[in-house]
Amino acid sequence: MIQSYLIGYLVNFAKSLKKQALKTTFHFLLFFLVVLFTNCQQNKELPPNSPNFLLILADDLDYSEIGCYGGEIPTPNIDQLAKEGMLFTEFYTPSDDAKTRSMLLTGTSQAQVPSTHQLQAEAVTIAQLLKEVGYRTMMSGKWNLGTEKTDAPIAKGFQHSFALMEETSNHLGSKRYFPAIFRENHNIKEISEDFYTTQYFSRQLLSFFSKGKKKERRKPFFAYLSFTAPHYPLQAPASAIQNFSSQYEEGYRAIYEARVANQLSLGLHTGIDGLNLPDWENLAPELKAVEAKKMEIYAAMVFDMDKHIGRLIDYLKVSKQYDNTVIIFLADGGISEPTSLKKLATIDNSVENMGNPNSMITLGNGWTSLKLGDKGNKAAVAFDNAIKAPLIISSPLLKEQAGNKDKSIRTVGDITPTILKMIGIPHPSESYFEDVLSVEGQPIF
């Protein structure tokens, strides 16, 4: 980045020197620097069989809700990743959605502009660094790091992207009850009536794998899949919701106790007891029906996300890329809930219509009180309002780690330095000449 600028500066400085001896000495120094920088650049070349990386981020998913962390929602594909890889029990993210994403992609808590969610000019993303050394870079899903064209993923190192630029959007249909811009690379993309976020984001990422010439497709890849599930509003296909019919009629306490029992059996007990849960028995029957339906939709969103993760894994196996791929699954917390959503004449929040494109439902205080992530070890991390979240790292390349539980305190800022270390690439902040934000996270391996 800085090499050409520095060399140009030295050339101009050499021309300004008046004495021939000084000019000769300086030209020799300049030649030496050119050779040095060239060698440095050559050292950035990737070794053969450099690993692929698939980074999957769930949106507002609590760690206590998925199967491998003791949750009752069936997530067989995520659970299999945990079985074949490492499951982290003390992993934390900021409570702020955009800050989590900025730390994830840069390794520093200073990357985000708080007022706009944009990335600082001095922040370098992992996609930029990997693209520079020859990786294919692609992303699909929620971005939430600035809404302008200059903020788009393609301007931050991703060669192919389909991105929801804002924090929130409908999951179903083309009607926008929230302001939402979708960009395919630089261009604004119109979505169809049958749009479904989880399905579309996954399909777009799959399509990116076949982009480019054969030589390009042989390069290692860095793929970032950023789901909006199970972020509000609660919406999912009716067929998915039906899988969970009547499964939450016992109420908050029964689900909470089942989760704790499962965590104890898995050796993941949080040490959190006596939650002040709402009294299910005192709710009116019609309110119980509403509350149970909310959780049915939420579970369907998580279940569908897991299903599409499975399809990505199947693709990697069929295309013979799985054995050289590191899959990192995490979530950005799972606590954020608005006090209310839009109440428009076209909104129908009846029990029968909940989950459809024209319903605007949040999980509500009852079910969010079961989320254990906001009750974690906040003092143990370097940023405010820390949320405990799931993290799984899985790969045939890490066979020696298979089935391990990592109980060390980790943060979302550790992901970027971990990837760099696995490839053997230094961060540019380690160079005296690079004016970029330093990495704060630590490599996990």
Lowest-confidence segment of 32-46, 134-148, 164-178, 399-413 by average pLDDT: 32-46
pLDDT at position 102, please? 96
* Residue at 441 is within a domain: no
Is the pLDDT at 214 greater than 50? The verdict is yes
pLDDT at 383 > cutoff 70: no
- Count of beta carbons in the 10 Å neighbourhood of residue 294: 21
- pLDDT band at residue 30 using 50, 70 and 90 as cut-offs: very low
Q: Which two tokens stand for residue 416?
A: 């970027």
Tell me which H or E stretch contains 115: none
Tell me 12's DSSP state: H
Together in a domain, 16 and 150: no
pLDDT above 60 for 363: yes
Judge contact between 169 and 151, C-beta under 8 A.
Answer: no
**What is the rounded distance in angstroms from the CA atom of residue 381 to the CA atom of residue 410?**
8
Backbone angle region of 389, left / alpha / beta, with phi > 0 → left and psi within -120 to 50 → alpha? beta
Weakest-pLDDT range from 37-51, 196-210, 212-226, 237-251: 37-51
Clarify whether residues 297 and 269 are in a common domain.
yes
CB 68, CB 87: distance < 8 Å: yes
Choice between 17 and 270, residue whose per-residue pLDDT is larger: 270
Range of the domain at 15: 3-43
48 within some domain: no
pTM of the model: 0.89
The span from the CA of 149 to the CA of 175, in Å, is 22
Which DSSP category does 53 fall into? E
pLDDT at 41 over 50: no
Please say if the pLDDT value at position 155 is more than 60. Answer: yes
pLDDT for 168 beyond 80: yes
User: Do 9 and 129 sit in the same domain of this protein?
Assistant: no
Domain assignment present for residue 175? The answer is yes
Same domain membership, residue 212 and residue 82:
yes
Q: Residue 44 pLDDT more than 60?
A: no
Contact 162, 189 (CB under 8 A): yes
Segment 48-56 mean pLDDT: 94
Instruction: Answer yes or no: is 323 within a domain.
Output: yes
pLDDT > 70: percent of the chain: 84
**pLDDT tens digits for range 110-131:** 999 988 899 999 999 999 999 9
Report whether pLDDT(408) > 50.
yes
Nearest to 111, CA basis, from 433, 444, 445, 427: 427
CA–CA distance, 27 with 181 (Å, rounded to integer): 52
The CA distances from residue 289 to 248, 251, 258, 295, 368, in Å, are: 9, 10, 20, 10, 17
CB 206 within 8 A of CB 125: no
Q: Give the mean pLDDT of 297-309.
A: 98
DSSP single-letter state for residue 437:
P
Q: What is the mean pLDDT of the chain?
A: 87
Please indicate, yes or no, if residue 443 is contained in any of the structural domains: no
Query: Is 196 in a helix, a strand, or coil?
Result: strand
Structure-derived torsion over alpha carbons of residues 63, 64, 65, 68, reported in degrees to the nearest 10: 80
Q: Do residue 216 and residue 240 come from a single domain?
A: yes
Task: For the chain, give the number of residues.
Answer: 445
Distance of CA 108 to the CA centre of its chain: 15
Provide the CATH number for the domain around residue 381.
Answer: 3.40.720.10
Of the candidate ranges 92-96, 264-268, 310-314, 430-434, the one whose mean pLDDT is the lowest: 430-434
Same-domain check for residues 22 and 81: no
Whether pLDDT at 379 is above 70: no
Please report, to the nearest 10 degrees, the dihedral formed by the alpha carbons of residues 63, 349, 183, 107 taken in order: -20
Cβ-contact 239, 346 below 8 angstroms:
no
The alpha carbons of the chain give a radius of gyration, in whole angstroms, of 24
> What is the average pLDDT across 50-56?
97
Structural domains in the chain (count)? 2
Say what the pLDDT of residue 40 is: 47
DSSP string of 149-177, one letter each residue: GGGSGGGGT-SEEEEE-SS---SBSS--S
Q: What is the model's pLDDT at position 344?
A: 73
Note whether 108 and 142 are same-domain residues.
yes
Instruction: Give the model's pLDDT for residue 265.
Output: 92
Kindly state whether residues 26 and 84 are assigned to the same domain.
Answer: no
Confidence at residue 133, expressed as pLDDT on a 0 to 100 scale = 95
Q: Are residues 39 and 61 in the same domain?
A: no
Q: Using alpha carbons, select from 53, 120, 113, 136 the residue that is nearest to residue 429.
A: 120
Lowest mean pLDDT among 52-56, 391-395, 430-434: 430-434
The predicted-structure confidence for 268-284, as pLDDT tens digits, reads as follows 876 566 578 889 999 99
Q: Are residues 208 and 76 in the same domain?
A: yes
Mean pLDDT in residue range 31-41: 47
Cis peptide before 153 (omega within 30 of 0): no
CB within 8 Å of 373: residues ≥ 6 apart: 62, 63, 64, 333, 334, 335, 387, 388, 389
Tell me: pLDDT of 2 over 60.
no
Reported as a single tens digit per residue, the pLDDT across 413-435 is 999 999 999 999 999 998 866 78
- Give a yes or no: residue 409 inside a domain: yes
